[in-house]
Structure 1
């Protein structure tokens, strides 16, 4: 009998975790539109934690965001970690419906080999993708990478302020988390202390 209850509890936890959709956030009044938030300069400050929740790195980042005449966005990111600098570029291509409204964005990045879909609703942006994280360089000078599944969730909590949590998984198991706060700022603000 105990095993039956444990099994049912485990199933309900799995179903509960998998049912979270971006549309669940549409009732929140602080609308988070990727084209509006990611336009100009955005500063980000955060930590990287391992699977036990222990901080292993921290960073300050600068994101320079722009959009071209076709509505394609470029996010040019520079991360200043406590142990080095990392760069990433995201390209966001609008996905439109029959009425011509943007329903989401096809997102690709320098270290995300397969494009993903960025969805948004209410105060939230969701994105799940495979990241090829560079861990070093081999003897031939080639990049050594680790494939990580990234479950990325962003929530606007005040005008111009977004909380971002990203779960990192390998083979379906949690291996870490990135927590950060992003703030829209004027072009003259220095994002790195």
Structure 2
């Protein structure tokens, strides 16, 4: 019984240590997706497995457009193994600080919230696996560094277990 109580206390302690979007409310510069994701952006990134080993690197060219509360991000990824991949995000601003997004390889809808210089959104992405794909949950955090630069850190999970991480640096052109 004592071990169970200690385990429960540890889980509650760790849950209390997780970052929350509200933690960034006062940070600047303010991240507004409909302002940052307009025009041409170049991104550089890497994928790491659960041990931290870099397994893939990429460059992405992104073109963002907005019309009112509706945005589109047209992304072309150039992977280090020679593959080329496209993804088109359709993003809707649903409130002052809330967004929804869809894309062809996203299961369902991505839901996100901004506060200060940060965006947090969670969604399921279909990723290549063996001869098909699997859905992994992405816990995605973006941080605006200045008006032209943004860092994106994403934790990937499957069945609740951490399976990898993605780190991306973006810069407006």
The normalised TM-score by structure 2 is: 0.91
- Is 1:63 the counterpart of 2:51? The answer is no
Q: Could you list the per-position Cα deviations for residues 15-74 of structure 1 after superposition, in whole angstroms to 9, with x for gaps in the alignment?
A: 322xx3212101112111100000001110011000000000001111110113x43100
Question: How far 1:118 moved relative to its partner?
Answer: 2.0
Q: In 1, are the aligned partners of 2:107 and 2:123 still within 8 Å (CA)?
A: no
Structure exhibiting the larger radius of gyration computed from Cα positions: 1
Q: State the SS of the aligned residue for 2:97.
A: strand
Map of 2:154 onto structure 1: 166
Residues paired across the two proteins, number: 171
Looking at structure 2, the residues matched to 7 and 22 of structure 1 have their Cα atoms a distance apart, in angstroms, of 24
Question: How far 1:6 moved relative to its partner?
Answer: 5.4
Following TM superposition, the consecutive aligned residue runs of length 4 or more in structure 1 with deviations greater than 2 angstroms are: 1-11, 14-17, 134-137
Q: Are residues 158 and 105 of structure 1, via their aligned partners in 2, closer, same or farther at CA, if it must alter by over 3 Å?
A: same
For structure 1, the residue ranges without an aligned partner over 5 or more in a row are 97-101, 138-143, 186-193
Q: Could you list the per-position Cα deviations for residues 113-133 of structure 1 after superposition, in whole angstroms to 9, with x for gaps in the alignment?
A: 201222111000111001111
Q: State the SS of the aligned residue for 1:30.
A: coil
Looking at structure 1, the residues matched to 2 and 69 of structure 2 have their Cα atoms a distance apart, in angstroms, of 56
The residue correspondences of 1:1-193 to structure 2 (distance < 5 A) are: 3=3, 5=6, 7-17=8-18, 20-68=19-67, 70-83=68-81, 84-96=83-95, 102-135=96-129, 137=131, 144-185=132-173
For structure 2, the residue ranges without an aligned partner over 5 or more in a row are none
Calculate the aligned-residue CA RMSD, in Å.
1.8
